[in-house]
Amino acid sequence: MIKPHFIKDIMITDLYTVTPDTAILSATTELLKRNISGAPVLDGDGKLLAVLSKRDCLKAALNAHYHHVWGGLVSDYMVSPVETISPDTELSDAALYFIKSRFRRIPVVENQKLLGQVSRSDVLKVLFETVAR
């Protein structure tokens, strides 16, 4: 078995994504239903614009709590600019990124197009399996 050495070897490609004009209630509902902590925000051409996290949705929920109604779009809460990583990044470099970063996952982008996502857990799992053998 060949050991994965690059992000492209371990990234997740089947992602839930939203657009800036997605209703924040709908996006929050999906994040909770899917038990995922965030979603890339894409434009109509698949270009990564931002990321929407559960933290962002919590802001929307607090706003809804005070005003007794959910309102707004993903564009009202999404975080931009987005830190990204190349599919050709070595796993050791990705591990160093995660050690220094507060983020738990990072979009994998090439030519401004979203290819996938990699998380701390993804990198840790591969490095652990490589060393534990």
Question: What are the structural domain ranges in the chain?
Answer: 7-132
In the numeric block, which tokens belong to residue 62?
Answer: 């607090």
Structure confidence at residue 7 (pLDDT): 96
Structure pTM? 0.86
- Asked, as a colleague might, if the bond just before 81 is cis with ω within 30 of 0, I would say yes
Over residues 47-94, the pLDDT tens digits come to: 999 999 999 999 999 988 888 888 899 999 998 889 999 999 999 999
- CB 47, CB 23: distance < 8 Å: no
C-alpha distances in Å from residue 122, one per residue of 7, 50, 61, 68, 129: 9, 21, 29, 39, 11
Q: Give domain 7-132's CATH number out of 3.40.50.620, 3.10.580.10, 3.10.20.30, 3.30.420.40.
A: 3.10.580.10
Which one has a higher pLDDT value, 129 or 122?
Answer: 122
